[in-house]
Amino acid sequence: MRGHRISNFLWRTRKGNAWVCGGSAALYIGAALWFSWTPAKLVGIFPPCFFYRVTGFRCVGCGGTRAIESLLHGQIGQAVYYNPLVVLMAAVVLFAWIWLLAGCFRREYRPPRLRHAGAYALVFTGLVVVFLVVRNLPVYPFMR
């Protein structure tokens, strides 16, 4: 029951939303600063893609690690080259973070609600499936 109270505090109160936004901002800014000042690489940490190794096709996440690393270094074009879906999801997360933070400063506080969650899940699933098919097409912009 205790976990339920923490969840209610974080998502249903102004102060909780401020904690979520502040904590996530500190995490993102800290990661970006750390990666911009150190020669650390994310690419060697994770094993190679099992799906690509078995099938020869790139999965939805192939290039995602390199894309995140490029985003942390501020190289947006390079990140789009590696995996455009990761860049799109990073933009969605940034928008959601700004929306949540803006809600903390409203005069009349209302807890954030996601309307039509099922429709968003269907759109996201469709986007992932289309991306999986398109990125494996044997035509110029998609061949690598």
The H-assigned helical ranges of 13-83 are 14-37, 50-55, 64-72, 76-82
Rounded distance, CA 64 to CA 42, Å? 10
∠ CA 120-124-126, rounded to 5°:
120
CA–CA separation, 141 vs 84, rounded Å?
12
In this predicted structure, what is the pLDDT of residue 84?
92
**Which position has the token pair 């009349």?**
108
Please give the pLDDT value at position 129.
Answer: 94
Cβ neighbours of residue 76 under 8 Å, at least 6 residues apart? 70, 87
List, run by run, the mean pLDDT of 10-residue segments along the chain (144 residues): 63 75 83 73 73 88 86 87 92 84 73 79 93 86 64
Angstrom distance (rounded) from CA 110 to CA 103: 7
Which pair of tokens denotes residue 51? 């799906």
What pLDDT, on a 0 to 100 scale, did the predictor assign at position 131?
Answer: 92
